[in-house]
Amino acid sequence: MLEKYLDTPIECADKVTETLYKVKARIANTESRRAKKMLDKTIPLFEKHEFWSTQPVMRVYEPIGQINQPVENKKLEDISVEGLPLIEGYHWTTINMDDQAEKDELYDLLSNHYVEDDGGNFRFDYSREFLKWALTPPGYKKEWLVGVRGGKKNKLYGFISGIPVKIMTHGQQTVMAEINFLCVHKQLRSFRLAPVLIREITRRVNLKDIWQAIYTSGTTLMTPFGSAVYYHRNLNP
């Protein structure tokens, strides 16, 4: 019974995290691969996250309130019309997928710095044609194709995208943003640019009076509502 140790849900989460890490250490040298995978998926639900713990998303240990209600209430007048500040020498840009040079830049950034395996041997390689199709569906917002440029050559160093989608939840249709292709050049990883990109795309989505978004991650983040196992077949490696 954790109640005798704890006063708040956060303290409960800390205690659960501590216990799970002890279990993980205990089975570290065993053959229980399934148990290790389950712990790797479960621990992030309780431990603090440097970015997502500061965001308006539910925690696994928080009581569920009314369904289909916002977790925070904001209005358009609460949203800044100015872009977030960036590190010196870098600025925001909007990627034009109808411009061949900008499309090539985005392809080069993603093909060299996007999702890859732990060893850095394989990486997603989306074609220019696929990127154009994925990022410019009917009704897309040009200002939701967000890039970061800088350096002597004004090079593209970061990117995140959003497209409007209609999502049905509990029989209700809501217009949301589907967030994808979050990518930061390896030279800028130490500057924690990814959270700034997420906050900037959030600001731009909110300016369209849209307040919900969906996204995917290869790691377990705060309170996921679904998970999937998928397999890759490498083509022409």
Residues 95 and 23 in one domain: no
Kindly state whether residues 84 and 140 are assigned to the same domain. yes
DSSP single-letter state for residue 84: P
Range of the domain at 141: 77-214
Stretch among 87-101, 133-147, 155-169, 212-226 having the lowest mean pLDDT: 212-226
Instruction: Determine the Cα–Cα distance for residues 237 and 233; give it in Å rounded to an integer.
Output: 10
More confident: 228 or 81: 81
Report in angstroms the alpha-carbon separations of 75 from 54, 170, 172: 19, 24, 21
Q: What share of the chain is helix, strand, coil (3-state, %, to 5)?
A: 35, 20, 45
Query: Does 96 lie in the same domain as 185?
Result: yes
Phi then psi dihedrals of residue 161, to 5 deg: -130, 160
Separation CA 197–CA 193 (nearest Å): 6
pLDDT at res. 9? 64
Can you give the pLDDT at residue 2?
47
120 lies in the same domain as 178: yes
Question: Do 103 and 140 fall within a single domain?
Answer: yes
Residue 230 falls inside a structural domain: no
Give the pLDDT score at 68. Answer: 65
Calpha distance 11→3 (Å, rounded): 10
Could you tell me what percent of the chain has a pLDDT over 90? 47
> Which of helix, strand or coil describes residue 32?
coil
Q: Using CA atoms, how far apart are residues 36 and 92, in angstroms rounded to an integer? A: 41
* Same domain for 42 and 86: no
Q: Is residue 129 part of a domain?
A: yes
Residue type, 25: A
103 and 15, same domain (yes or no): no
Question: d(Cα 158, Cα 139) in Å, to the nearest integer?
Answer: 24
Domain count, the chain: 2
User: Is the domain of 41 the same as that of 104?
Assistant: no
Poorest-pLDDT segment among 72-76, 88-92, 111-115, 133-137: 72-76
Find residue 169's DSSP bridge partners. 172
The answer to whether residues 208 and 136 belong to one domain is yes
Q: Domain check: are 97 and 151 in the same one?
A: yes
41 occurs within a structural domain: yes
pLDDT averaged over the chain? 86
Residues 94 and 162 in one domain: yes
